[in-house]
Amino acid sequence: MNKDKRGAERRIDARNAYSGHIFFATKDRFFEGELKNYSERGLFIKTYEFLELGAFITVALPSVCGQRSKVKAQILWRNHEGYGVELVKERTGKNTKLLRLEARSRELNHIPYPSRHHTL
């Protein structure tokens, strides 16, 4: 991967557009934001809250087949709209919750765009 490239040029995984409320927490506090897009490895969360770069958060993902799940993530970057976070995988292999997120991705990709607006 070329470190001189920016944004989409640097991405390994395709981003999937999404628009819906999302809840996340640091070890001290709960927050609400808007999930704008996601990939297998990360999320972009729109929020105007101040969060430390490098901090770990727990994200409550939108429900998949009626099941709610949470994933750990680390804040990698921020801009004027929000934060880019990388999902933290378990040491024993691919995180089961990430598999659920991928299943949700496939499910959402088959819904016409106006119906994509979901809440938790």
pLDDT tens sequence across 20-34? 899 999 999 999 999
The pLDDT confidence band at residue 16, using thresholds 50, 70 and 90, is: confident
Indicate the SS3 state at residue 37: strand
- How many degrees, rounded to 5, is the angle at CA 95 between CA 89 and CA 100? 130
Kindly list the distances between the CA atom of residue 66 and the CA atoms of 51, 92, 100, 101, in Å, as whole numbers in the listed order.
Answer: 30, 26, 11, 13
Q: What residue spans define the domains of the chain?
A: 11-110
49-104 residue pLDDT tens: 999 999 999 999 877 667 778 899 999 999 999 999 999 975 544 444 555 555 55
Topology (CATH) of 11-110? Thrombin, subunit H (2.40.10)
